[in-house]
Amino acid sequence: MSHTAEEYLKIPESRRTAIEALRRELVPGRRVALSTHMNADGDGCGSEAALARMLTQLGLDVRVVNPTPWPELFSFLLGVVV
């Protein structure tokens, strides 16, 4: 079975509904905590840092709270986020 690019990019209605519900909760001034897995790697740290920046730009008060220390190797990703 062959799929078109449009079919691959279509967002299922259930996912769209969940995203919209989450978006309604992301209001300026609200505090959010972000975390990633233990002994975070580049994927975890990069995703967390990018999401922290996006939420900060939306006016949320973001805190990064990981179960293990943030690896020094990736400290440049945080900038002024924490």
pLDDT tens, residue order, the chain (82 aa): 677 878 888 889 999 999 999 999 999 999 999 999 999 999 999 999 999 999 999 999 999 999 999 999 998 998 755 4
Two structure tokens written together for 40: 């975070």
Q: What domain range is 59 assigned to?
A: 5-77
Q: Specify the number of domains making up the chain.
A: 1
Q: Decide if 54 is inside a domain.
A: yes
Residue 64 forms part of a structural domain: yes
The answer as to whether 9 is a domain residue is yes
Among left, alpha and beta (phi > 0; psi -120 to 50; other), residue 24 is alpha
Asked whether residue 44 is assigned to any structural domain, the reply reads yes
Alpha-carbon span 50 to 63, nearest angstrom? 13
55 within a domain of the structure (yes/no): yes
What pLDDT, on the 0 to 100 scale, is given for residue 55?
A: 95
Residue 69 maps to a domain: yes
Domain membership of residue 39 (yes or no) is yes
Domain assignment present for 82: no
Task: Give me the pLDDT at residue 82, please.
Answer: 47
pLDDT of residue 1: 62
